[in-house]
Amino acid sequence: MISYEYFAKVDIRVGKILKAEDFPQARKPAYKLEIDFGQEVGVKKSAAQITDLYKKEELKDTLVLAVVNFPPKQIGPFISECLTLGVPDEQGRVVLVRPDHDAPVGSKLF
């Protein structure tokens, strides 16, 4: 088990997807996302393997949850600056974790 203090070090925020683009260089089908996390965190980029359930055109303005305090990760020619959160469905497709009501961009999960 971990303590609450340890968990609290993970900075999970609400972000709004500004842009989704194809990522043909990824080993598994993915999109390159640009996500706005508000004034305190700013705009970050993320690679997300969500192509099975989501069309890139539908993702604009979608609210998502992401970890924003991991170090950047090189994924092919792309640097992912945050981890967009998702869970697998019964077929193993990634379902985005997102608020079910409007929440302010940049809000921190607690």
Using the predicted structure, report yes or no on whether residue 110 has a pLDDT greater than 90. Answer: no
Considering Cα of 70, then 49, then 80, then 85, what sign does the dihedral take?
A: negative
Q: What is the β-pairing status of strands 63-67 and 83-84?
A: antiparallel
Residue closest to 14 by CA, chosen among 72, 110, 99: 99
Using the predicted structure, report yes or no on whether residue 67 has a pLDDT greater than 90. Answer: yes
How does pLDDT run across 72-94, given as a tens digit for each residue? 999 989 999 999 999 999 999 99
Residue closest to 13 by CA, chosen among 42, 34, 49: 42
Where are the domains positioned within the chain? Answer: 4-96
How does pLDDT run across 31-51, given as a tens digit for each residue? 999 999 999 999 999 999 999
Q: What architecture does CATH give domain 4-96?
A: Beta Barrel (2.40)
Under 8 Å between Cβ of 11 and 67: yes
